[in-house]
Amino acid sequence: MLRIENLTYRIGPRILLDQAKVIINPGHRVGFIGRNGVGKTTLFRLIAGDLEADDGTIHVPARWQIGQTSQDLPSGTQNLLEIVIASDKELAALTAAAEVETDPEKIAEIHEKLLDKGAYSAHSRAARILAGLGFNEDDQMQPCDSFSGGWRMRVALASLLFTQPDLLLLDEPTNHLDLEAALWLEDYLSKYQGTLILISHDRDLLNRVVGEILHLEHRKLTLYQGGYDRFEATRRMRLDLQAKQRTKQDAQRAHIQKFVDRFRYKASKAKQAQSRIKMLAKMEPIPEDREGGSAHFDFPDPGHLPPPLYSMDGVAVGYDGKAVLTKLSPYIGSEDRIALLGANGHGKSTLIKLLAGRLAPLEGTVNKSNKLRIGYFAQNQADELDLGATPIIELGRKRPKDPEEKLRRHLGRYGFSQERGETKVGNLSGGEKARLLFALMTSDAPHILLLDEPTNHLDVDNRQALIQAINAFPGAVVIVSHDFHILELTADQLWLVDGGTIQTFEGDLEDYRSFLLKRKTGSLATKKLTKKGKPNKKERRREAAEKRKAHADLKKKLSGAEARIDLLNFEIKKLNVQLADPELYKDNPARLITLQKQMGIQTKKVEAAEVVWADLQAKWDQKDN
């Protein structure tokens, strides 16, 4: 088990962990949460041995291999499969040794270890992981250097998963994944056999994958049973109880203090007053939940523009004259909430850039009001921030005519106090930089918000505040996110970007989740849940009739297979009766040979029939799934 005892760690005068303790049992999957900047990643580095604690101990079993998310991206001319397989150092060393070893005993020992490591399925296992994270067969054979940083982060994650460490430490693994890859990772982690600690602010991921929540708060570690929703309910009850106890304690303190103030200088009551003073000193105050301040987003009202805000007619868009998306004719109303779905590389960001005016159409017509203001948020915009400037300076550059008081009020909409507004951007946390980007992109009160993965680096409280702000915003929103929770609570239209165009997806996000899973197995065509939405009544009746017919045919085949096995077993029973006759072995050797041959033939027929039956039975068991 992983055991942390009385752990203390400081960065300068700031204490991140103070006598923290927790025990995590082998094979448990744990979600690790806490507000941005409280020290979650630091604890991972302490567990991995990259940092040394000021006090306390971390005990990890000596035989455990630890794997953690790395910021170092893979590179080089090796193809992706080679890089992932080479990430298992022990496997690579054994494979190299097998090629040069000449001692028969050592060769046998090496091959036994290779068998234990699953070496002979390593290639297919690496390919499955890469495919799950969005790399097709052609991609897997390309050199690593041909991919962008975001895709190489996926390669790094694939390499980590391939090594199958005993203790897997994952820090926000879905931040650079699309919905499809995030869904695959969720399924993979939910079946992980080792011990998993997962830093994430994705509620759905924490609800579906982990069985415990580890909360870092007030420099202490608290372990809760269940997923995120259960943690939130349990913690809310604890905070309510603390509030009641604090009110009761405050009343008790006031009553004792009143007695002390009244009698401490009277000789007859001095002793009682002194004992009450000691009682007050020993009374531990019950803390309030004020860590980190409150999360805050408040998008400004853009004012009214007559619809449509934005429309297209037969638009194509792409790069260097080559279209990525064609036949685009979408319409955006003044209060639309649109989520863009689809795998990375299929054109979601291209569409967002077209809407933002970052790309010009290759053909077709774009119609929009001359007064339309558009706000565009993309996580990579953080790289464009001036690290030596402050938020107030950055905003002033964008709004040079606005007085400082107005700039500060606008920053306050996104939780920036006067102090944080004057902090250098380079010293802001990832979440604060994201909030600064929100402040910059809404500084002119846009009518449409284009949000491309807005939740990366936002903790759960900030994500919830963002959801509330989006729902309160009177303009239109187009959002791309791998976070099902934020899409579910904000979007009322789903557009699927796939096959070089846009199609309306009329199902909900659970339908889309099922759609993705079924499409991976090739059992659902895209058109069934796109364009005109869910099948109509006539279509559903036809599908139901086809399903009943398929079930009837399957049942008929299964019954036939069972009857054949019964018939073959009856023939074997008759042969056994004849072969049990002692006289057969004395007087008729030719007859004995014939019966034995017949028995062999019938046995093989039974084995073949049982294989057919087993396959049909498996299909029958899965018929309703």
Concatenated DSSP letters for 310-362?
EEEEEEEEEETTEEEEEEE--EE-TT-EEEEES-TTSSHHHHHHHHHTSS--S
Q: Mean pLDDT score of the chain, rounded to an integer?
A: 83
**What CA–CA distance (Å, rounded) separates 70 from 154?**
11
Assess whether pLDDT exceeds 50 at residue 535. Answer: no
Assess whether pLDDT exceeds 80 at residue 588. Answer: no
- What's the pLDDT score for residue 29? 95
Comparing 538 with 376, the larger pLDDT belongs to 376
Please answer whether residues 207 and 229 qualify as being in contact, where contact means their C-beta atoms are separated by less than 8 angstroms.
yes
Stretch 213-229: mean pLDDT, rounded?
Answer: 92
Stretch 511-536: mean pLDDT, rounded?
Answer: 57
Residue 589: beta bridge partners? none
DSSP letter string, 79-134:
BHHHHHHHT-HHHHHHHHHHHH---HHHHHHHHHHHHHTTGGGHHHHHHHHHHHTT
Share of the chain above pLDDT 90, in %: 35
Assess whether pLDDT exceeds 90 at residue 530. Answer: no
Closest of 403, 402, 404, 421 to residue 412, by C-alpha: 421
**What CA–CA distance (Å, rounded) separates 282 from 276?**
10
Comparing 153 with 539, the larger pLDDT belongs to 153
Stretch 86-103: mean pLDDT, rounded?
Answer: 82
Poorest-confidence range of 228-242, 335-349, 368-382? 228-242
Assess whether pLDDT exceeds 50 at residue 523. Answer: no
- pLDDT band at 537; cut points 50, 70, 90: very low
Stretch 260-284: mean pLDDT, rounded?
Answer: 69
**pTM score:** 0.68
- Summarize pLDDT for 391-423 with one digit per residue, the tens: 999 999 999 999 999 999 999 988 888 888 899
Stretch 363-384: mean pLDDT, rounded?
Answer: 88
Structure tokens at 248: 């009761």
- What's the pLDDT score for residue 255? 75
Assess whether pLDDT exceeds 50 at residue 544. Answer: yes
Stretch 212-217: mean pLDDT, rounded?
Answer: 93
Closest of 485, 478, 517, 218 to residue 333, by C-alpha: 478
Share of the chain above pLDDT 70, in %: 87
- Summarize pLDDT for 472-490 with one digit per residue, the tens: 898 999 999 988 889 988 8
Assess whether pLDDT exceeds 60 at residue 527. Answer: no
Closest of 342, 372, 347, 337 to residue 357, by C-alpha: 372
- What's the pLDDT score for residue 284? 63
Task: Give, in order, the Cα–Cα distances in Å from 250 to each of 7, 237, 242, 276, 284.
Answer: 32, 20, 12, 15, 11
Task: Give, in order, the Cα–Cα distances in Å from 143 to each of 81, 139, 147, 418.
Answer: 9, 9, 8, 48
- What's the pLDDT score for residue 520? 58
- What's the pLDDT score for residue 623? 60
- What's the pLDDT score for residue 390? 93
- Summarize pLDDT for 10-28 with one digit per residue, the tens: 988 889 999 999 999 999 9
- Summarize pLDDT for 435-444 with one digit per residue, the tens: 899 999 999 9
- What's the pLDDT score for residue 90? 85
- With 0-12 / 13-18 / 19 or more C-beta atoms within 10 angstroms meaning exposed / middle / buried, residue 513 is middle
Please answer whether residues 64 and 71 qualify as being in contact, where contact means their C-beta atoms are separated by less than 8 angstroms.
no
Assess whether pLDDT exceeds 90 at residue 5. Answer: yes
> Checking phi first, is residue 167 left (phi over 0); if not, alpha (psi -120 to 50) or beta?
beta
- What's the pLDDT score for residue 241? 75
- Residue 362 CB partners (closer than 8 Å, separation 6+): 316, 317, 318, 321, 323
